[in-house]
Structure 1
Amino acid sequence: MSQTDQAKTNEDEQTLNDQENEELENMADENLSDEEEQNVEEKILMDIKDIDELKKNADESQQKLLRTQADFDNFRRRTRMEKEEALKYASKGLIEQLLPVIDNFERAISSSAETKDFDSLMKGIEMVFDQMKQTFDSEELKPIESIGQPFNPEYHQAIMQVESEEYEEGIVVEEVQKGYILKDKVLRPAMVKVSS
Structure 2
Amino acid sequence: MLSNFKINLKNIRKAMNKENIVENDISTHESEDVNEVANENNNIIEDEITSESYELIINDLKQKNEELQEKFLRLFSEFDNYKRRTAKEKMDIMNIAGENIIKSLINILDDFERAEKSINSSANIEAVMEGLNLITNKFKDFLSQNGVEPINSIGMPLDTDMHEAITQSPAPSEDMKGKVINEVQKGYLMNGKVIRFSKVIIGN
Answer yes or no: same fold by TM over 0.5: yes
Residue among 66, 79, 86 paired with 1:72: 79
2:70 maps to 1:54: no
Q: Secondary structure at the match of 2:109?
A: helix
What is the aligned partner in structure 2 of residue 102 from structure 1? 109
Question: How many pairs align?
Answer: 167
Q: Secondary structure at the match of 1:147?
A: coil
Residues 72, 160 of structure 1: CA spacing in aligned structure 2 closer, same or farther, 3 A cutoff?
Answer: same
Residue among 147, 150, 160 paired with 1:143: 150
Deviations 1:92-146 (A, max 9, x none): 4433333322222222223443445433322211111111111122223222222
What is the aligned-residue RMSD (CA, Å)? Answer: 3.3
Shift of 1:171: 1.5
Distance 1:135 1:189 in 2: 20
Deviations 1:4-44 (A, max 9, x none): xxxxxxxxxxxxxxxxxxxxxxxxxx9779x8699569836
Residues 147, 54 of structure 1: CA spacing in aligned structure 2 closer, same or farther, 3 A cutoff?
Answer: closer
TM-score (norm 2): 0.64
Residue among 184, 189, 193 paired with 2:192: 184
Gaps of 5+ in 2: 1-35
Shift of 1:89: 5.7
Structure (1 or 2) with the larger CA radius of gyration: 2
TM-score (norm 1): 0.66
| Stretch deviating more after TM superposition (130-139 or 85-94) | 85-94
Distance 1:127 1:165 in 2: 33
Q: State percent identity of aligned pairs.
A: 31
What is the aligned partner in structure 1 of residue 141 from structure 2? 134
Q: Secondary structure at the match of 2:160?
A: coil
User: Which has more helix, going by share of residues?
Assistant: 2
Distance 1:181 1:52 in 2: 65
Shift of 1:50: 4.4
2:159 maps to 1:158: no
2:151 maps to 1:123: no
Gaps of 5+ in 1: 1-29
Residues 136, 45 of structure 1: CA spacing in aligned structure 2 closer, same or farther, 3 A cutoff?
Answer: same
Shift of 1:174: 1.3
